[in-house]
């Protein structure tokens, strides 16, 4: 085998062994749609409004929900991130893309509610290049909850009304 052919085969094997997320740059909206049960389209800054009447929304973090960030001068399209774990009422771990570096996927990064009222309207998120919890405070709308969660809650309530135990 020639060096050129061997090099091409090696490159192909490396490409195949590389996770898909690392092969192509991904935006936060595409990542959130692919890694949550929230199926909205459009810019991240519009997800909060688009969720109205389709998904429940609120200010309490829940695993599987999507944290929707407001648009700012440094983040004109807004941002969305999937909550992978709730640590407590003011700390969560997020999975998201396109935050620390263009197209980069980050998993299990810390986000902290720094709002005065504890309503997740002001958030600091781990920023890899600065190795710190947020270069800036980012304004957020709140959390969008998966429809499956609403369906499950409705089914439990109906079962409870009928005297059924879960």
pLDDT tens column, 93-146: 999 999 999 999 999 999 999 999 999 999 999 999 999 998 799 999 999 999
121 occurs within a structural domain: yes
8 occurs within a structural domain: no
100 occurs within a structural domain: yes
82 occurs within a structural domain: yes
SS (H, E, C) 128-160: HHHCEECCCCEEEEEEECCHHHHHHHHHHHHHH
| Rounded percentage of the chain residues whose pLDDT exceeds 90 | 72
Residue 164 pLDDT more than 80?
no
Instruction: Specify the range with the lowest mean pLDDT, choosing from 3-7, 13-17, 30-34, 112-116.
Output: 13-17
Residue 39 pLDDT more than 80?
yes
* Residue appearing with tokens 């439990």: 156
Write the CA distances from 58 to 65, 138, 140, 162, integer angstroms: 10, 17, 11, 28
Q: In CATH, what number is assigned to the domain containing residue 122?
A: 3.90.1720.10
13 occurs within a structural domain: no
Domain count, the chain: 1
């Amino acid at each position: 085998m020639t060096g050129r052919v061997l090099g091409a085969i090696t490159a192909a094997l490396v490409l195949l062994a590389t996770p898909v997320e690392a092969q192509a740059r991904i935006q936060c909206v595409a990542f959130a749609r692919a890694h949550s049960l929230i199926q909205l389209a459009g810019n991240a800054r519009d997800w909060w409004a688009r969720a109205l009447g389709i998904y429940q929304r609120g200010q309490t973090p829940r695993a599987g929900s999507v944290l929707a960030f407001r648009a700012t001068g440094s983040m004109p399209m807004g941002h969305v991130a999937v909550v992978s774990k709730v640590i407590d009422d003011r700390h969560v771990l997020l999975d998201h893309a396109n935050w620390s570096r263009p197209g980069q996927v980050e998993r299990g990064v810390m986000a902290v509610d720094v709002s005065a009222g504890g309503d997740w309207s002001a958030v600091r998120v781990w920023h890899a290049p600065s190795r710190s919890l947020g270069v800036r405070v980012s304004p957020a709308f709140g959390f969008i909850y998966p429809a499956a969660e609403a369906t499950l809650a409705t089914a439990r309530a109906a079962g409870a009304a009928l005297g059924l135990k879960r």
